[in-house]
Structure 1
Amino acid sequence: MKLKVDRRADALYLTLSESPSSRSEEVSPGIIVDYDDQNRVVGIEMLYLSKRAPEADIQRLLFEFIPGAA
């Protein structure tokens, strides 16, 4: 899994799989989900990042793991 922030595009992209994307769907304005040829989600893009999360510190990420979740 990879998280990429593109400041020039003002976008965030979360890669969930290295499988190539075969189609994309805008599920909400500025939120695009990429699917592979078996209809599995391989990535999620969020546009207008600075407007959606103006207080976000993109230099610092916190990952939280929930005990017992598989």
Structure 2
Amino acid sequence: MKIQFDSEADALYLRLLGGEVTDSESIEPDVVYDYDAKNQVVGVEVLRVRTNLPNLATKALPFKS
């Protein structure tokens, strides 16, 4: 799993599997699932991280930017 945090976009992306993203679905406000051709979830994007996860210590974790 790869974790990326974009501080400018205030978005967190969890890459669960390799492969090409072929579809995306907003499952609830500010949470998007990315799917591959086999309909497997390959990634999860959380938007508005500072609002939705205010206690997440993003500076202390080794995120790639």
Shorter-chain TM-score tier: 0.7 to 0.9
Report SS of the residue matched to 1:50.
Answer: helix
Q: Which runs of 4+ in 1 moved over 6 A?
A: none
> Where do 5+ consecutive residues of structure 2 fail to align?
none
- State the one-letter code of the partner of 1:52: N
Query: What's the TM-score once normalised by structure 1's chain length?
Result: 0.81
* RCO higher in structure (CA 8 A, sep ≥6): 2
Q: Distance in 1 between matches of 2:55 and 2:33?
A: 24
Report SS of the residue matched to 2:50.
Answer: helix
User: Identity of counterpart residues, as a percentage?
Assistant: 39
> Where do 5+ consecutive residues of structure 1 fail to align?
62-70
